[in-house]
Structure 1
Amino acid sequence: MKKFRVIVVLAGLALPACASPGLDPATNAPAPDSAATRLGWGTPTAGDEFNYVGAPDPAKWSVHNSAGHNGNGVRSPQQVTVDGSKMVMTGTLNGKTAGVSAKFARQKYGRWEVRAAGSGDNEYHLVSILWPDSGNWPCDGEIDYAETTGNWNLIESFQHYSCSNSQTSASKALDVSRFHNYAVDWSPAGIVGYVDGVKWFEDTDPAHQPPGPMHQTLQLDWFPDATADGSGEMRVDWVRVYAAANTTPAPTPTPKNSL
């Protein structure tokens, strides 16, 4: 995800002062401050609650085993684990870190929501994005709907579009070390982002729409600089995917010879 500087910055909205409470233990329902609950997105169609122990579920996730972002460090399967309640990615002093890509909900349009937190050295960036199934980047776009770029008190978004990797962006002051619910609603009408159920960015330009299906990717990326190297961590409580807006089954056509 090669970064260029901001073209457009959209103003954020004020968020509730209360911390995100997570799931209701009695119902296992989303917290009131999730976009899914506030906006009535219904029942998830796919996702992962991370209620198991060990490596990320191989039926749901591809774990990166490759060079890091822009060739910095490495992404290693050893650096990501599930502890029974959340997925944890850890980054070392020398840039050994992690990333995963969802095998589920590879689709054009839909709603994604992730409950996550991150902390550590500012050389590490928390990244929650939709990546093109085609792998044809940058031509097929990229929706970074929750990302840090060296400041754990600021959440940012980047909408990549076109083969020239043009971008729009938004930023909002937020304590990313605390868990928050980050969501994106992608429809033909545009791309809308939410933090704790409150809209904070929107892009309705048809020219900025990704051309094909996408999927959830989570990364703890390393951006080494002139400062002393430190460790970092990304924690993910859950990932949930919901049906796209105004999607209903197509009516069954009536046979031509029916009475």
Structure 2
Amino acid sequence: MATAALEATHEALDTTVRLITPERITFQYPLAGPFRRATAYLIDLAVLGMLVFLGLMVSLLLALGTAAGGGLFLVILFALRFGYGALLEGVLNGQTVGKRAMGLRVVSVEGVPINGGQAFLRNLLWCFDGIVPFGYLPAIASMLLTRRFQRLGDLAARTMVIVEQRPTRGGVALLEEKAVQTLLPRLPARIDAGPELARALADYVAHRKRFSTSRREEMAAHLAVPARKTYDLPEDATGDTVLCALYHRVFLEE
């Protein structure tokens, strides 16, 4: 995913949302529909069920089988019900066990990673999305009536769920240039790239040697300039080196 600040264009077409950076670079994210999200939710529900069972066993052991264990279990149940998704999405950059299994990720409507407050709010509002008398109809209706398939929790937290298309590893180029290796320690150990950014980096690295140095700098400038600001990279680092270092992090060090 692009790490520069993004602004949404409010355009969604064929389950794809288009986002544009301040530098006018366009990224497209496939949106996760209700059925794929439901499968991820069922996986999370199974994981949550196992955690609840373990919580029950722990509460009974701590209470030595007395009725006091019931109160402790209710506390554990409440914490798991509303804390499971919030904690994982906050710590794992918008993913739970189910979302990771289905290749989904929660991001903000601007296309950047969600923060802890957004993760907490969207999970807290499951009490309205999945309100007991109506099953999950509020969540389903909201997703079907919004262009980004947002349930009520997503609308309140300004989030959306996208399909994360991981770049294939076949034919990944090994970059051993000294300038690239020097720049790598200044980048995060792992950079999440959306499908468009990953494709742009892969295409650039695959064809860069066909162009002159000046042409490479011209091509790389649009992504290299915001990357220098985001990661506080030295100004004398060439655009070609910056893009090669980003490519290295995205494809080779996930």
TM-score, length-scaled by structure 2 = 0.26
Higher relative contact order (CA 8 A, sep 6+): 1
* Structure ranking higher in strand proportion: 1
More helix by share: 2
Structure exhibiting the larger radius of gyration computed from Cα positions: 2
State TM-score, norm by structure 1. Answer: 0.25
